[in-house]
């Protein structure tokens, strides 16, 4: 009889311990979820990007060069292709957009390089 009581007591203690551990893990999971949700809010993502970009002048130049080159390629594609639905014309438009974007990006890069050398002398 006492052996059965000991087993029941041990089982009750184990169940209680598992309940406490489950509650602790659930509380920890809720804290982690709250932190994750807070980290992935758009405002916090933008803050992190601005903080990362604030350090380097090269990155600041790239911030301006990239949209300019992409817009140039996109607008030229729209002018050439228009609203055409043909596959050939669309593919030519994408290729043209790629080439023009790269060309503009390289030209802007050389302009900023020359500008830096002129400023340094």
- Write down the pLDDT at residue 28: 95
Query: What pTM did the predictor assign?
Result: 0.44
Domain locations along the chain: 1-40, 57-120
pLDDT-derived band at 73 (thresholds 50, 70, 90) equals: confident
DSSP conformational letter for 121:
-
CA distance 92 to 88: 6
Average pLDDT over residues 21-42: 92
CA distance 25 to 31: 10
- Write down the pLDDT at residue 1: 60
* pLDDT exceeds 90 at position 31: yes
- Write down the pLDDT at residue 34: 92
């Amino acid at each position: 009889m006492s052996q059965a009581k000991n087993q029941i007591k041990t089982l009750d203690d184990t169940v209680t311990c598992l309940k406490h551990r489950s509650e602790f893990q659930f509380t920890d999971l809720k804290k982690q979820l709250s932190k994750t949700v807070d980290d992935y809010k758009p405002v916090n993502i933008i803050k992190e990007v601005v903080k990362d970009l604030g350090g380097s002048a090269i990155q600041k130049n790239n911030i301006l060069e990239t949209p300019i080159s992409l817009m140039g390629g996109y607008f030229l594609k729209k002018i050439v292709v228009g609203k055409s639905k043909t596959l050939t014309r669309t593919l030519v438009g994408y290729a043209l957009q790629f080439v023009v974007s790269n060309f503009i990006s390289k030209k802007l890069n050389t302009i900023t390089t020359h500008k830096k050398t002129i400023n340094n002398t």
